[in-house]
Amino acid sequence: MWAARLAFPAAVLLTLAVLWELVVWGLAVPKWIVPSPSAIWQAFWEMRALLAVHVGQTMLEVATGIGIAVTAGVAVAAAINFSPWLRRAIYPLLVISQTVPILALAPLLIIWFGFGIAPKVIVVTLFCFFPIAINTSDGLTATEPELIDLFRSMGATWLQIWQKVRLPAALPYFFSGLKIAATYSVTGAIVGEWVGAKQGLGIYMLRSSAAFKTAQVFSAIAITSLLSIALFLAVFVIERGTMPWHFEER
């Protein structure tokens, strides 16, 4: 089933790659302007050892940032769900926080925390925190009141209601936010590395671009896309394993 679903998009991508190759070859476009897919693959293969180091650094930043964002996002969502006053105070601030361009904060983070891993992790956390917190909060709020009243009538405590009713109801919302966060997390790490870093795909792109090695830039972009897709699929697999009942109903 999955093979059949992937066959058509794979065929489209292969067709586009062949057309790209033919156009670049037919028009004799210089490699430093637009490299062909074969040149991009060659650049990737030649630099695979160095790319592995940069990918490892970027994924360390991504994993740490997502972990912090999940912890903080769920905690904030739970807090504003417990207290209507906190919801009125914090929810608008969460929305307002998204009006501040994260790219503008990145240089300040470098000034405050230096060129180590901390600024990149903070940027990834900022990219991932909002969709996780908002979606989880909406999921906790969307729990059916009748179901909560039923559990209360049966003598359930607030902790039991939280575990048996609110959390299962919020899980689909949480995973929706996590899939969005995972998709943007690699981009967040690269944005942080653009401002200042010693290792990572972002600094690899900048150095390659400064040397007019456009094929290496394209190879790093392709790796970025593949990493984002892999993270999305990983969250999807965890989602199916965590709440099989949701997919059975669908």
Diameter of the chain by CA atoms? 77
What pLDDT shows up at residue 156?
Answer: 67
- Let me know if residue 10 belongs to a domain: no
3-state secondary structure (DSSP) of residue 184: helix
- Let me know if residue 4 belongs to a domain: no
Q: pLDDT at residue 21 above 70?
A: yes
- Let me know if residue 29 belongs to a domain: no
Domains of the chain: total: 1
R_g (Cα) of the chain, nearest Å:
22
Task: Please tell me the pTM assigned to this model.
Answer: 0.85
Comparing C-alpha atoms, which of 46, 70, 74 is closest to residue 170? 74
- Let me know if residue 173 belongs to a domain: yes
- Let me know if residue 44 belongs to a domain: no
Rounded-to-integer distance, Cα 29 and Cα 21, Å? 10
Comparing C-alpha atoms, which of 116, 127, 235, 133 is closest to residue 185? 127
- Let me know if residue 250 belongs to a domain: no
- Let me know if residue 23 belongs to a domain: no
Range of the domain at 129: 51-243
CATH number at residue 215: 1.10.3720.10
Tell which wins on pLDDT, 132 or 250: 132
What pLDDT shows up at residue 157?
Answer: 67
Q: pLDDT at residue 9 above 80?
A: no
**Terminal-to-terminal C-alpha distance of the chain:** 17
Tell which wins on pLDDT, 84 or 228: 228
What pLDDT shows up at residue 230?
Answer: 94
What pLDDT shows up at residue 215?
Answer: 92
- Let me know if residue 9 belongs to a domain: no
Rounded-to-integer distance, Cα 186 and Cα 231, Å? 9
Length in residues, the chain: 250
For the stretch 176-205, pLDDT in tens is 999 999 999 999 999 888 887 788 999 999
| Mean of the per-residue pLDDT values of the chain | 85
